[in-house]
Amino acid sequence: MSTLLEVSGVSVSFDGFKAINNLSFQIGTQELRAVIGPNGAGKTTFMDIITGKTRPDEGRISYGEKGLSLLSMSESRIAQAGIGRKFQRPTVFEDQSVADNLMMALRKARGPLSVLMFRPTAADHGRIAELAGEIGLSRKLHSKSGELSHGQKQWLEIGMLLAQEPRLLLVDEPAAGMTPAEREHTTDILREAARTRAVVVVEHDMEFVRRLGCKVTVLHEGSVLAEGSIDHVTQNERVIDVYLGR
């Protein structure tokens, strides 16, 4: 399996506080990976760096077969290159319908003029109906997304990410605020997504991570503490000390 994203020796500090310290990380083209760690371990900063929101002080990030450096790219270009991100709080556009939200996310030209001239084809509508089916929102397609429940908003956001057809999906605490049934559905969606792309899930909930059944990376104080299967890392002494033991 070839490597899709390689982060090497990345550090970033905010006002002297090292949020990320010499972090290295790799993920393959079709892989599901969970990133766990205590609060302040740098999980969100890690995602911010990959998506271009935060610029690291040092280090390299290479992406894709050509080894594109993400450091010189804007957020929107990184997203266009195929990196999608789901935030901790569901951020959908509440004033707009589920269909509009998905339509915006569909993988199409993103420039102002092409968007202005864009008219959805039957295939686009079909794709949106299909996505809505996957995330269980078929009946809500024309409702304003502000009317959805919290869990449904989370799914809509996942649906929007899938619509972007990213090669790398970064998901921040997808199960937060979900009912057990919704969590199960979310696990299925993520596992399914990881068959065709790389998916990184940041999560607090160990039970949820266990159900994902994938390789786990444990972050602590901005660097990788341990990496391996869930059983492997939960038996690691240092992991128990800093995280699980508390």
Please identify, using beta-carbon distances, which residue of 86 and 220 lies nearer to another protein.
86
Q: Is 131 in the site for another protein (CB under 8 A)?
A: no
Of 157 and 220, nearer to another protein (C-beta) is: 157
| Dihedrals phi, psi of 42, to nearest 5 degrees | 100, 20
DSSP readout, 190-236?
A: HHHHTTTSEEEEE-S-HHHHHHHTSEEEEEETTEEEEEE-HHHHHH-
Which of residues 174 and 242 has its CB atom nearest to another protein in the complex? 174
Task: Give DSSP secondary structure letters for 73-123.
Answer: S-HHHHHHTTEEEE-SS----TTSBHHHHHHHHSSS--SHHHHHH----HH
Q: Is 104 in the site for another protein (CB under 8 A)?
A: yes
- Residue selected from 4, 148, 219, 233 as contacting another protein according to rule CB under 8 A: 148
Q: Which stretch binds another protein (CB under 8 A): 24-32, 145-153, 205-213, 226-234?
A: 145-153
125 counts as binding another protein under rule CB under 8 A: yes
Q: How many residues does the chain have?
A: 246
> Do residues 66 and 234 lie in contact, with contact meaning Cβ atoms separated by under 8 Å?
no
Is 146:138 a contact under the CB 8 Å cutoff?
A: no
Least distance in angstroms from the C-beta of 13 to another protein: 22
Nearest approach, Cβ of residue 174 and another protein (Å)? 15
Residues 145 and 152: their CA atoms lie apart, in Å, by 9
CA distance 219 to 226: 7
Asked if 215 and 31 count as a contact pair (C-beta separation under 8 A), the reply is yes
Q: Considering the rule CB under 8 A, would residue 93 count as an interface residue with another protein?
A: yes
From the list 38-46, 81-89, 186-194, 195-203, the region that binds another protein by CB under 8 A is 81-89
Q: Which of 38, 64, 177, 228 binds another protein (CB under 8 A)?
A: 177
Closest to 81 (Cα-Cα) out of 52, 56, 58, 102: 52
**Judged by CB under 8 A, which stretch of 133-141, 185-193, 207-215, 236-244 contacts another protein?**
133-141
The site for another protein (CB under 8 A) is made up of 51, 53, 74-77, 79-80, 84-85, 87, 91, 93-96, 100, 103-105, 110-113, 115-116, 118-120, 122, 125, 138-139, 141-144, 146-153, 160, 164, 177, 179, 182
